[in-house]
Structure 1
Amino acid sequence: MMHANRLADLRQRLQQQGLDAFIIPHDDEHLGEYIPPYAERLDWISGFNGSAGAAVVLAEQAAIFVDGRYTVQVRHQCDPTLFAFHHLINEPYLDWLAERLEGGARVGFDPRLHSQKWYQDADARLADQGINLVPMSHNPIDRLWHDRPAPGHHPASLLSQEYSGQHSEAKRHRIAETLAAGNIDAQLLTQAEPINWLLNIRGRDIPCLPVVLSFALLHRDGRVQLFADPDKFTDLELQAHCGQDVTLAPMDALEQALTELGRQGARVQLDPSTANAWSALVLSRAGAELIYGDDPCMLLKACKNPVEVHGSRAAHLRDGAAVCRFLAWLDRRLAEPNPEQEDEGTLADRLAACRRQSPEFVEPSFSTISALGPNAAMCHYHHVNGVPRRLGQDAIYLVDSGGQYLDGTTDITRTVAVGRPDDDMRKLFTLVLRGHIDLAQARFPAGTGGLQLDALARMPLWQQGYNFDHGTGHGVGHFLSVHEGPQRISPKGSMVPLTTGMIVSNEPGYYREDAFGIRCENLVVVQPAATDGDIPVFELETLTFVPFDRRLIDPTWLEPKHIAWLDDYHRQVWEKVSPQLDGEELDWLKQATRPL
C-alpha cells in the first residue's frame, strides 16, 4: 500500500507539470557505483534496493528494469501489481517508453542523475518518435520524500604521503600540463573517487567507499576548486594538506562557478560518461565551450605507484590472516554440535569480526556475499534480502568479501566444503581453479588489454562445455573503490592496456541455478616481467594469500604445471601468513597448505 500511495502522489505531480512519464535511475549526482542513503530514490518509489536499475512511471503503468544479477531479488522486493519487470540490458527502458507513448509526449528526468552521454543518446532516441525529453529543475520525488535521510557529516581524513606515495600538487600539475597543452581552461571532475585520489583525501560519506562526496574544477594552472560540505574539513587544513592553490566551497556553489566559466567563454573538458547532464547544461547555457574527453585522473589513479603497491601487499597479508582465522573457525564449528545454528548472516558477521582485529581496518569494501548451496548460484546474492540459509544442508559455501584498510583495498572469494561435495562439484571447482591458475601464470606483451586475456580463465570450462556469465576481473582501487576502471578482464572487456601498477581481480566461476555456485578470486598487480626477449612483457603478481580448499580439488583435472603452481602458492601462503597466527589457527593453516 505504501508504494501504491507513493506512485499515486508522484503521478499527481507529473500531471501538474504536464509530464507523461518520469525516469528514476539508481544514481546520485556523482554517478558513481555506490550511492548514499539520501539518494535511494529508486528504493523509495519501488522497494528495490539493488545496486543497478531504473524505474519508469507513466500515468497508468510503471515498470522496473534490472540486470541479470537482480531478476530474482526484484520479484521479492517489488509489488507485481504496481510494476512490470524487465531486463535492463535486453529490454532497454527507452524502447519500452517509445512503444507506449505517442508523438508529442513529454518525458521528465532529473539531469543531475543521468550522464551527459545518456542525455544525448536518449534525447536522440526519443526524438525519433516525436517524444520530448524534459530536464527538470527539481526532482519530484525529493518533494514527496518527507522522511528522506540527511547527508552524512562524517569528517574527512587527509591521506598522508606515507600511504599515497605522491603529493596532491604533483598529481594536479601533471594533469594541468596536459590541459594547457590541449588549450583547455578547466577540467570538471564529478565522481568522488578521482577527486579524492587527486587531493589525497578520504571520507565516510558512502558505506564501503571511503570518499568525501564532492565536485571539483581543475584549472590549467593546477588550481583546484573543491565543492564539498565545508563542515567536513576547514579550508586551512585542506590547504595545508594539498597546497595553497586548493580552495573549498559548498556543493551548491558549483552552479555559480560553472556559470562564471561560461561567461568567460572558457573551454571546459568533461567526461560525458561520468559527468551529469545538469553540469553540461549549465556550462553550455552560460556560453562555455564543452570539450569531451576521458576523465584524466582515471588512468593515473589505476596505475598504482610503488608506495601504493607496497601498501596493498601489506593490506592483503593482514586480510589474508583474517580470512584464514575465519576459515579455521568455520572448520572447527562444523565439527562441533549444532552447526545448523549458524547461518549466512552469522558467518558474515564472524568474518567481519576477524577483519576488525586489525587496527588499520576501516570498513568492508562491499557487502559480503555469504552464500550457501543454491544461494551461491546468484553471483550478487545478499543474505539480508531473504531468509539466511543455515549450515548443515549444503555441500558448498561461497564467501566473497573484502576490506578497506588505510594502505589498500582487498577483495577475495573462497569456495569451501561445508558438507560432502560430489564428484561433479569437485570437477567443476577444479576446472574453475585451473582457469584461475592459467590466468595467474599469464605473461603478455605491452599493449595487451583485458579482453585478450579473458579466454585464459575460461578455457578449461569451455573445453568441458561450461562457462560463467560475468567478467573475469575488475580493477581495484587503493583505499578507494573495490571496482575501478578503466582496466578490466572480460569478454566484453576493455582494450585499455594492462600496465605496471594496475590491480585487477582474477575470479572465474561456475554457477548452477538452484544448486550451487563456485568462484575462486585473488587480486593481482601488473608488474614488468624479466625476460631475455626484445619486447617489454608483463606478468601478474598475486596479492591475495589464503589457501584454496583441497577438499574440493580433483587432481585428475589438473596438469603438472597447475599442481606445481598450487603447491608453490600454498608454500607462500604458509610463509607469509603463518607468522600472524598461532594455536589452532596455525595448525589449520599447516594442514590447508600442505602439498597436493
Structure 2
Amino acid sequence: MSHANRLAAVRCAMAENSINAFIVPHDDEHLGEYIPPYAERLAWISGFTGSAGAAVVLTDKAAVFVDGRYTVQVRQQCDATLFGYHHLISEPYLDWLLTELNAGDKVGFDPHLHSQSWYQNAEEKLAAHHITLVPVSNNLIDEQWHDRPVPDCHAALLLSQDYSGQHSEAKRSRIAQDLAALQVDVQLLTQAEPINWLLNIRGRDISCLPVVLSFALLHQDGSVQLFADPAKFAGLDLQAHSGNNVSLLPVNELATALQALGKQGARVQLDPTTANAWSALVLSEAGAELVYDDDPCMLPKACKNPVEVNGSRTAHLRDGAAVSRFLAWLDRRINQANPELEHEGTLADKLEGFRAANSEFVEPSFSTISALGPNAAMCHYHHLNGTPRTLGQDAIYLVDSGGQYLDGTTDITRTVAVGEPDAEMQKLFTLVMRGHIDLADARFPAGTGGQQLDALARMPLWQQGYNFDHGTGHGVGHYLSVHEGPQRISPKGSIVPLTTGMIVSNEPGYYREDGFGIRCENLQVVQPADLGGDIPVFEFETLTFVPFDRRLIDNHWLEDKHIQWLNQYHAQVWENISPQLEGDDLAWLEQATRPI
C-alpha cells in the first residue's frame, strides 16, 4: 500500500470517528526512545524512519515534524506532495494544529502513546481555542496496518550481581522507604529501563536495547508486581533472583490491577513525563489519588555503583581494541586495490564483526551510523535508507557505533580521513576536537548541570561562526539504553546536577548539508576531583580509548593545552589498547598515537 493510500485509509477512519486531525508520534506504550517494529506507526504512515518525530494527518493535508538531527533525512524519505516538513522544536505540532483547525474541531490521539504530561498540556492548549482532544480506543493506524509485525518473545536474562553490583531487594527497599516518607502507596513504573534496572533483569525485546518490555507496580513495602509476558521467564526463577516479594503477571492484567488500586483509593505516584495518559486515565477514573513526581528509579540508575563503573571501564577497553582493529583495517583497505568495492554497509558490517569476535559482545548498542561524505551531514543517517556511498569518492568518513556487553554499554564516534581532506575540513575538525577537549578537561562544582557545561564544547565553533544542532552529550546506561536520563549536556538540557557515577557522552560536531559531517565522541564518567579546595568539585574520567585521526588536525587552531591533552590521551590509548593488538594492527596503533 502506497503512503498516499495509507493516508486515505486513515482519513476514512478519521471520518468514521468524527475527528478532524490524528496525531502519530514515534512512541510505543512505554514511551521509551527505542520502540519495537510493531510500534513503528510513524514510519508506516510517512516513510520516515528516524528515532524521534511525529506526523499529523488532517482531512486535506499532512505534516511530519522532526528535530535538527533529521532535517535532511525527512526530505529524502517523505513524499513532499503528501507531507509538509516542520521543525519539531521551533514549530511544535500543537502550534501548527492551531493554525490549521477551527473552533469545534476534534483532534484524535491514542492515549497509550502520549505521556500524561503531554495530555494535560495539549488538552488545555487546544481547549483554549475551543478544539477538543479525543482519545481513541483503537489506534487508527493499527486498524489499517494489515501486515503489522507481531511482538517477539525473547527469553529474559537474570543479570548476575557480579555485573549489577547490588541486589534488587536493596534497590527496592531504598526506593520504598522514600515512597513511605511521601505517604505514597504504590509507584507505577512504565518504562522498561528502570524496571529492568530495579529487578536486575535484561532481555532482547528491542534491537540494541537489552530489556524486557514491561510495566511494574512498586508497593510501599518494597514488593513488586511485574507485568510482562510470562513466556519470557520460562525456566527462570525470578523470585529466587529478584526476591520472594516479586510477582509476575501477564501484561493484559495491568488494567485490572490499576482499577483495583483505584477502588482502594490508593495514592499512586507516577512520572507524568514517562507514564502514558491511558494509565493515568484508568487510575483516576477508578478513584485513585494521583501523585506526580519523577520516576524514583531514574537518578539511582544513572549514578552507577563502583561495580558498574569498573565493568564499564572493562567493556570500553574491549570495545576500544575492536574499533582500533577496524580503523587499522580501514586504512589498509583504502590503500589496496578496488577500495570502491567497500561501501557504508560493508564498513558497518566489518566493524560489527570486529566487536562480535569478542565473546562478551551481545549486540550493537544502536544501529551503526556509517556515513561517507554528504551522508555524514545527517546526524542519524543509516545506510539502509538509501544507496550506500562507496569508498574512494569522499575525503572523510564518520562512523558512530557502540556495543552492548554484560558489563557495560559503549558509544563512540570517529571521523577519519579516507581521501584528501581540504584545509576547511581540517579547520572544522580541529574546532570540533578543541571543543571536545575543553569539555573533557572541565572541572565543575557540585550542583552543576549539563546545561551549564554545554557551551564549553561549542565555544571554539561559535568563535568562528559555526554551531551544531544537537545536544553535546547524553547519559549512557549500564548494559541498558545507550541514551539515558536524567543527565545530559545540551543547551536545552537537564538541570539535574552531574554527580559521581553518571556516564555521559562528549560529542560536539559540525554538519554541512550535501557536503560532509564531523563528530568526535568519547564516553566519560563523572568522578570527584581531589583538589584540596574549599568546595566539592567533579571532573570527567574518559572511558573511551581509540585514536583520533591526526591527519585531520590543523595545529593552527589548537592551543598548547589542547595538544598536550591529545598527546596524553593518545599515550593512554597506547597503554590500554596495545596489549590487545598485534602485527599490522599494533603497528597502526603505534603510528596513530604518535605525539603531535
Q: Normalized against structure 2, the TM-score is what? A: 0.98
Residue 253 of structure 1: how far off its partner (Å):
0.6
What are the ranges of 5 or more consecutive residues in structure 2 without an aligned counterpart? Answer: none
**1:456-514 deviation line (CA, Å, top 9, x unaligned):** 21222222222222111110000001111111111112111110000001111122222
2: CA distance, partners of 1:28 / 1:490: 25
Shift of 1:7: 2.1
Check the 8 A contact 2:73/2:378 in 1, yes or no.
Answer: no
- Residues 92-120 of structure 1 deviation map (CA, whole Å, 9 limit, x = unaligned): 22222222222222221110000001100
Shift of 1:236: 6.3
Q: Quick one: distance in 1 between partners of 2:235 and 2:122?
A: 40
Aligned ranges 1:568-587 → 2 under 5 Å: 568-587=568-587
In the TM superposition, residue 247 of structure 1 has moved relative to its aligned partner by: 0.3
Write the deviation string for residues 490-548 of structure 1: whole angstroms up to 9, x where unpaired: 11121111100000011111222222211111100001111121211111000000011
What's the counterpart of residue 267 of structure 1? 267
Structure 2 CA distance for aligned equivalents of residues 65 and 458 of structure 1: 26
Distance 1:527 1:108, change over 3 A: same
- SS of residue paired to 2:196: helix
Kept in 2: contact 1:235–1:247 (CA 8 A) = no
Q: Which residue of 2 aligns with 1:39?
A: 39
Decide whether aligned partners of structure 1 residues 422 and 167 sit closer, same or farther in structure 2, where only a CA change above 3 A counts: same
Q: Distance in 1 between matches of 2:108 and 2:133?
A: 6
Instruction: Judge which range, 532-541 or 204-213, deviates more.
Output: 532-541
- Report what 1:356 is aligned to: 356
Q: Secondary structure of 1:366's match?
A: coil
| 3-state SS of 2:75 partner | helix
Distance 1:99 1:379 in 2: 30
Which residue matches 2:413?
A: 413
Deviates more, 1:365-374 or 1:172-181: 365-374
Greater CA drift, 81-90 or 478-487: 81-90
Which residue in 1 is equivalent to 2:165? 165
1:586/1:53 Cα in 2 relative to 1: closer, same or farther (>3 Å)?
same
Structure 2 partner of 1:482: 482
1:510 aligns with 2:510: yes
Supply the distance in 1 between the matched residues of 2:241 and 2:292 (Cα, whole angstroms): 31
Deviates more, 1:168-177 or 1:545-554: 545-554
Query: Compared with structure 1, are the counterparts of its residues 6 and 467 closer, same or farther at alpha carbon in structure 2 (3 Å cutoff)?
Result: closer
Identity %: 78
Contact 1:432 1:509 in 2 (8 A): yes
Aligned 1:409-558 pairs, distance under 5 A: 409-558=409-558
2:219 pairs with 1:219: yes
Counterpart contact for 2:509–2:519, Cα < 8 Å: yes
1:86 aligns to 2:86 (yes or no): yes
Deviations 1:295-325 (Å, cap 9, x if unpaired)?
A: 0000000000000000000000000000000
Comparing 126-135 with 256-265, greater Cα deviation is found at: 126-135
What corresponds to 1:189 in structure 2?
189
Which amino acid in the other structure matches residue 154 of structure 1?
Answer: H
3-state secondary structure, aligned to 1:296: coil
Cα distance in 1, alignment partners of residues 446 and 584 from structure 2: 45
d(CA) in 2 for partners of 1:78, 1:431:
34
State the one-letter code of the partner of 1:42: L
The residue type equivalent to 1:34 in the other structure is Y
- Could you tell me which runs of 5 or more consecutive residues in structure 1 were left unpaired when the two chains were aligned: none
Q: Secondary structure at the match of 1:24?
A: strand
CA drift of 1:125 comes to 1.0
Kindly provide the amino acid, as one letter, of the partner of residue 293 in structure 1. Answer: D
Aligned residue number for residue 285 of structure 2: 285
Letter in 2 for 1:484: E
Question: Which deviates more, 492-501 or 555-564?
Answer: 555-564
Give how far 1:85 is off: 2.4
Which residue is equivalent to 1:322? 322
For residues 551 and 50 of structure 2, the distance between their equivalents in structure 1, rounded to whole angstroms, comes to 34
Alpha-carbon spacing, 1:121–1:151, altered in 2? closer, same or farther (3 Å): same
Deviation at 1:553, TM superposition (A): 1.3
What corresponds to 1:97 in structure 2? 97
Single out whichever of 159-168 and 551-560 deviates more from structure 2: 551-560
**Counterpart of 2:294 in 1: which secondary structure?**
coil
- Number of residue pairs matched by the alignment: 596
Paired AA for residue 207 in structure 2: P
Q: Following TM superposition, by how much is the alpha carbon of 1:327 offset from its aligned partner in structure 2, in angstroms?
A: 0.3
Equivalent residue number for residue 393 of structure 1? 393
Contact 1:365 1:482 in 2 (8 A): yes
The match for 1:232 is 232
Aligned to 1:590: 590
What is the rounded CA distance, in whole Å, between the counterparts of 1:561 and 1:70 in structure 2? Answer: 35
Distance 2:356 2:235 in 1: 32
CA distance in 1 between counterparts of 2:490 and 2:83 reads 32
Residue aligning to 2:17: 17
Could you give the per-residue CA deviations for residues 29-74 of structure 1, whole angstroms, max 9, x where no partner exists?
0000010000111112222221112122222222222222222222
Could you tell me how far 1:234 is from its partner in structure 2?
Answer: 4.1
Output the CA distance in 2 between the equivalents of 1:339 and 1:20.
54
Q: Could you tell me how far apart the structure 2 residues matched to 1:419 and 1:208 are?
A: 32
Where 1:318 maps in the other structure, the secondary structure is helix
Which residue does the alignment assign to 2:254? 254
Deviation string for 1:335-364 (max 9, x for gaps)? Answer: 111111111111111111111011111111
What is the aligned partner in structure 1 of residue 375 from structure 2?
375
> Which region of structure 1 is more displaced relative to structure 2, 160-169 or 509-518?
509-518
Aligned AA (1:181): A
Superposed CA RMSD in Å reads 1.3
Match of 2:176 in 1: 176
Deviations 1:246-304 (A, max 9, x none): 00001111000000000000000000000000000000000000000000000000000
Could you say which residue in structure 1 is the equivalent of 2:141? 141
The range that moved more, 535-544 or 417-426, is: 417-426
> What SS does the corresponding residue of 1:465 show, helix, strand or coil?
coil
How many Å separate the matches in 1 of 2:447 and 2:457?
Answer: 19
In 1, Cα distance between equivalents of 2:560 and 2:96: 53
